[in-house]
């Protein structure tokens, strides 16, 4: 399986790095194309065995899978330039907000398409990746899940849930980071050094996520374990609710869900 990645920016670059570190696709079968040379040179310095070009058509010539990672307003032009082979190739797009119907219109033909939304933790191989498929076989869906499960956790979802789940994961990672930032501010006011506070809070967030993912428990079960009656944690939890913490998160997710 040969893959061409069009656009080596934040997302395309992170996916290229993730694939190069993984075992599913040989690095010599990964072709990366970008408008300018600078990002390609940086990638080449890290992974010399990847194939680089500034010519999109050249990158996709041999590819079975073509992964688009350019900004949304560039997609139509890039698709026209590529003129993909619907019989032989699969289109994978990480571009947010463009429905399958729009791709089909721009392509001028039906073909297998995947919409994939990773989040920025893909650079750490810890992405939550959403995958929706169009005219794909069960085997192709499994292959996509395998590829992105190597870079974190991937889930297959219906396209109708893309906007809501993007709010939870792609935007949601920023809300978690906002929590980390706020908790650090508290720590610093309480006399903890910023770097120490950063490590302490980040590890606590990672630990909380591990409890949920590894135990498959509801958050309230894990919260119950640390809220001793009359204790300090329940005082803080109640203060969060008095200040509208849950409501703020719900509202943030809802405004980030743009259909």
Ligand X SMILES: NC(=O)c1ccc[n+]([C@@H]2O[C@H](COP(=O)([O-])OP(=O)(O)OC[C@H]3O[C@@H](n4cnc5c(N)ncnc54)[C@H](OP(=O)(O)O)[C@@H]3O)[C@@H](O)[C@H]2O)c1
Residues 50-69 as x/- pattern, contact with ligand X by CB under 6 A:
------x------------x
The dihedral built from the CA positions of residue 18, 19, 20 and 24, taken in this order, carries a sign that is positive
Considering only 6, 52, 144, 151, the residue that binds ligand X (CB under 6 A) is 6
Considering only 60, 127, 133, 170, the residue that binds ligand X (CB under 6 A) is 170
Neighbouring residues of 124: CB distance < 8 A, sequence distance ≥ 6: none
**Please, which residue, 9 or 194, has the CB nearer to ligand X?**
9
Cα–Cα–Cα angle for 43, 18, 145, rounded to 5 degrees = 145
Q: By Cβ distance, which residue is nearest to ligand X?
A: 9
Distance in Å, CB of 77 to ligand X, minimum: 7
Most distant CA pair in the chain, distance: 67
Residues 72-111 as x/- pattern, contact with ligand X by CB under 6 A:
x-x---x---------------xxx---------------
d(C-alpha 179, C-alpha 249), whole Å: 10
Find the part of the chain contacting ligand X (CB under 6 A) among 28-36, 125-133, 201-209, 242-250. 28-36
Distance in Å, CB of 97 to ligand X, minimum: 7
Neighbouring residues of 30: CB distance < 8 A, sequence distance ≥ 6: 2, 3, 5, 16, 19, 20, 50, 51
Q: Does 40 bind ligand X (CB under 6 A)?
A: no
Q: Does 130 bind ligand X (CB under 6 A)?
A: no
Q: Which two tokens stand for residue 248?
A: 């703020």
Distance in Å, CB of 162 to ligand X, minimum: 11
H helices of the chain, where?
Answer: 10-21, 38-46, 56-60, 75-82, 100-107, 138-149, 162-166, 172-189, 194-215, 219-226, 232-242, 245-256
**Please, which residue, 60 or 112, has the CB nearer to ligand X?**
60
On whether the CB atoms of residues 98 and 75 are closer than 8 A, the answer is yes
Q: Which two tokens stand for residue 105?
A: 């219109």
Q: Does 7 bind ligand X (CB under 6 A)?
A: yes
Q: Does 4 bind ligand X (CB under 6 A)?
A: no
Interacting residues toward ligand X by CB under 6 A: 6-12, 33-36, 39, 56, 69-72, 74, 78, 94-96, 117-120, 170
């Amino acid at each position: 399986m040969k893959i061409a990645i069009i656009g080596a920016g934040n997302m395309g670059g992170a996916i290229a790095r993730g694939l190069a570190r993984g075992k599913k696709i040989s690095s010599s079968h990964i072709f990366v194309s970008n408008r300018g040379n600078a990002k390609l040179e940086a990638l080449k310095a890290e992974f010399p065995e990847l194939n680089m070009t500034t010519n999109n058509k050249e990158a996709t010539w041999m590819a079975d899978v073509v992964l688009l990672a350019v900004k949304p307003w560039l997609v139509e032009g890039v698709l026209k330039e590529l003129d993909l082979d619907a019989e032989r190739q699969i289109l994978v797009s990480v571009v947010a907000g463009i429905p399958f119907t729009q791709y089909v219109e721009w392509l001028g033909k039906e073909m297998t398409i995947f919409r994939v939304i990773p989040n920025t933790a893909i650079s750490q191989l810890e992405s939550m990746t959403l995958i929706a498929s169009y005219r794909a076989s069960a085997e192709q869906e499994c292959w996509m899940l395998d590829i992105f499960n190597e870079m974190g956790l991937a889930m297959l979802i219906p396209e109708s849930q893309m906007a809501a789940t993007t709010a939870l994961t792609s935007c949601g990672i920023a809300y978690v980071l906002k929590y980390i930032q706020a908790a650090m501010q508290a720590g610093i006011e309480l006399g903890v050094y910023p770097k120490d506070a950063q490590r302490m809070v980040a590890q606590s967030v990672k630990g909380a996520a591990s409890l949920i993912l590894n135990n498959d428990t509801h958050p309230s079960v894990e919260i119950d374990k640390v809220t001793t009656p009359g204790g300090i944690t329940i005082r803080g939890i109640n203060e969060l609710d008095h200040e509208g913490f849950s409501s703020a998160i719900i509202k943030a997710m809802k405004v980030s869900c743009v259909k």
